[in-house]
Structure 1
């Protein structure tokens, strides 16, 4: 099979398209003919040699990627034959191997793809979608809510805008550049503003007629988060799930970090991660969430990483063999 391999930590050009041996499914595993592989910002962190949330960086050489969708084409020992030929999606956890034409995964991580979703959309929901479901569970949204979403044109921001708008909230999208502002508006943000305009907070206040924001969904941090938090009224929520700007921003007594482990504890149940994945796929199957996707050929994984790191993407970045 063909796969993307990383032999040395460093820049995106260290990702190489190679021919490698096919993986074999072990007991309790299936092998998927990959039709779409998700690219996550964490992938770029690991590629650079940082460990992110892992105890240590992955051993080299490695095939990056932790989100795949495709068709089951081989079964390991003990796996029911009914899985063969099914359209499935899976998050591989912290085990890499997604940037490839074939991927092996434990069958208990797999979800059958609802019939109305394509492979790329399913990949977007299994990782980014489950994160969106993890975030929104911390806030009760309704017609009286005023929600601020920085980076509303990204894979996660798009889903947060759609979810809040569907709940009846007023959604403020804070994007970077006219194209992303237009995309936020199309997904339900009204108003959507350009954060490169230094007067954007004043324009939002004027548009809202003095209504304060009630929630800030913040994965950006830095000056944008600082200005967004300034829009909150008494009792408002600043929910922090990342800081893509490289600069965390929090206010003591106001800001709450809702990173991965906190999300799963909130979801509860015997398998909270799977619960969030199922919710995300169900939202997409019902049409309440429509993930935006930016597609790259598998062989151009380095270009996908560069585009993601320089914020030249909208929606979820996906590789297609």
Structure 2
């Protein structure tokens, strides 16, 4: 089969398209003819040789990729025969909050194997790329939203609003009746955020964007969905109304430059900051398998048309270009590889 392999940690160019053996499903597993494979920012971090708190570095050589959708074409011993021929989607990574473990990976390929008990049928009306977006990005979005009770009285501020999670956050907030202020980097991404329905879409590379927010929404925002950190989040914190909520689920722009005086001001205004990834998200979801619960909800939201993932598609052979684009913030929506 054709696959993308990594033989040495390093830049995106280390991802190479090769021919390798087609995997054989073990007992309780299925083999999937992959129609779409998700590309995650974590994939780029692990490729560089940087372990995450959840995922240890893979053994090399490896086939990256933790999210796949396609059709079951082979079964391992003892696997329910009802799966054969079905359209499925699955997240191959390990659970958030678990000790660091090596992800099974294998998604950047024409075929991948997965445990049958982790599969979800792809709902009617969703194509494989949409299903892949919801099994990872969608589940994270719904996990974040567990911490915000949005309604008509809410004014939400969404940096990175043209990204995979940002796009879905804007849609969910609009469905809840909230007022949405979207921030994106550059005119093209800002236009996408506006087309997604945001009431106000601003280019955060323009120096005067905070003044534009104050002009249109002088009362301030009630919720800041923060995946960016850095100077953008620092400016956004000043735009939160008293009692505002700062939900952190990423820091692509680095730490927020806060002084002791800044922290005192935030406390005086009653601004609450919560890190919503990892164990906090799992505890809030509850149940015996909280990640599966979030995955099921995400797929249902997309199937009902309430959430519509934005996609940027690349051919499988261009995985290195997809990684480079993601790392340089040249992408919009969820990045997906298609064999």
The answer to whether TM tops 0.5 is yes
Shift of 1:54: 3.6
Pick closer, same or farther for the CA change 1:248–1:65 going to 2, 3 Å.
farther
Shift of 1:248: 4.6
SS of residue paired to 1:44 = helix
Pick closer, same or farther for the CA change 1:55–1:303 going to 2, 3 Å.
closer
Contact 2:234 2:256 in 1 (8 A): no
- Among candidates 248, 251, 254, match of residue 246 of structure 1: 254
Shift of 1:79: 1.3
Mapped to 1, the partners of 2:338 and 2:125 lie a distance apart of 19
SS of residue paired to 1:224 = helix
Mapping of residues 293-312 of structure 1, within 5 Å:
293-312=311-330
Contact 2:5 2:64 in 1 (8 A): yes
**What residue is the counterpart of 1:4 in the other structure?**
4
**Residue segments in structure 2 that go unaligned for 5+ positions in a row:** 94-102
Contact 1:242 1:248 in 2 (8 A): no
**What residue is the counterpart of 1:25 in the other structure?**
25
- Per-residue Cα deviation, 1:252-301 (whole angstroms, up to 9, x for no partner): 76211011221111100011000000010011001010000000000000
Q: Does 1:159 align with 2:165?
A: no
**What residue is the counterpart of 1:131 in the other structure?**
140
- Among candidates 292, 306, 313, match of residue 331 of structure 2: 313
Shift of 1:246: 2.7
- Among candidates 235, 238, 244, match of residue 230 of structure 1: 238
Mapped to 2, the partners of 1:171 and 1:7 lie a distance apart of 44
Mapped to 1, the partners of 2:59 and 2:233 lie a distance apart of 35
Contact 1:37 1:120 in 2 (8 A): yes
Mapped to 1, the partners of 2:279 and 2:322 lie a distance apart of 28
Contact 1:151 1:176 in 2 (8 A): yes
- Per-residue Cα deviation, 1:73-97 (whole angstroms, up to 9, x for no partner): 0011111111111010000013210
**Residue segments in structure 1 that go unaligned for 5+ positions in a row:** none
Contact 1:88 1:110 in 2 (8 A): yes
Q: Does 1:180 align with 2:189?
A: yes
Contact 2:174 2:197 in 1 (8 A): yes
SS of residue paired to 2:89 = strand
SS of residue paired to 1:147 = strand
**What residue is the counterpart of 2:219 in the other structure?**
211
Q: Does 1:52 align with 2:49?
A: no
Pick closer, same or farther for the CA change 1:139–1:55 going to 2, 3 Å.
closer
Contact 1:239 1:257 in 2 (8 A): yes
Shift of 1:153: 0.2
- Among candidates 159, 169, 174, match of residue 150 of structure 1: 159
Q: Paired residues, what number? A: 320
SS of residue paired to 2:288 = coil
Superposition CA RMSD, Å: 1.2
Q: TM-score of the superposition, structure 2-length normalised?
A: 0.92
Pick closer, same or farther for the CA change 1:166–1:103 going to 2, 3 Å.
same
SS of residue paired to 1:148 = strand
Mapping of residues 58-137 of structure 1, within 5 Å:
58-93=58-93, 94-137=103-146
- Per-residue Cα deviation, 1:44-63 (whole angstroms, up to 9, x for no partner): 00000000234531110000
**What residue is the counterpart of 1:257 in the other structure?**
275
- Among candidates 281, 284, 295, match of residue 299 of structure 2: 281
Mapped to 2, the partners of 1:306 and 1:269 lie a distance apart of 38
